[in-house]
Amino acid sequence: MKKKINQHIINHLNLLEKHKNLILNVTLFIAKEIRKTYRRNGKVFLAGNGGSAADCEHIAGELVGRYKKNRKPLSAISLTTDTSVITCIANDFGYDKIFERQFEGNANRNDLLIVMSTSGNSKNIINVLKKAKQKKIMSIAMLGNKGGKCRKVAKHSFIVPSNNTANIQETHHLIGHLVCSVFG
């Protein structure tokens, strides 16, 4: 057990060390795009599945609540949280539409969409990215592996160069916290 845990830590630290400049540049880019969004009175929308959904909820919470210091709440909405809306859409239109329909109904040109996907191939993530493109709304995809289909649909794609789901999600989460640290 100790060997397995130690290996996971080593893998993660190696990934962070090898790609720290990428992580820094991605963090700065996302923080600047969020700042631009807030300056034009826009909202940040986040979407992901599974562990990435939890990360989206967490980051939205940090932006609306606070990260380290008391400040004005920032507008951030995780499209993963409203079970009544999600189950209604999934029942009536299919699971592939759960984020797209919410985004279509709530987003406008001043907003920003951030998605997280380890594979980059989730149909519901691809669909919400397509909707952002159709509505001419800026989109950022935080991906893993080789980026999957999302890589080509998002306006900006950032790929954690790993095929280890846990390490990809941990890196996405770290970037999310680093972004939140910019806003306090």
Q: Return the ∠ at Cα 44 (arms to 37 and 156), rounded to 5°.
A: 75
Spatial CB neighbours of 164, under 8 Å, sequence gap ≥ 6: 11
Burial of residue 169 (CB within 10 Å: 0-12, 13-18, 19+) is buried
- Structure token digits, residue 85: 């809306």
Instruction: Please give the domain boundaries of the chain with CATH numbers for all domains.
Output: 2-183 (3.40.50.10490)
Please list the pLDDT of the chain residue by residue as tens digits (184 residues).
999 999 999 999 999 999 999 999 999 999 999 999 999 999 999 999 999 999 999 999 999 999 988 999 999 999 999 999 999 999 999 999 999 999 999 999 999 999 999 999 999 999 999 999 999 999 999 999 999 999 999 999 999 999 999 999 999 999 999 999 998 7
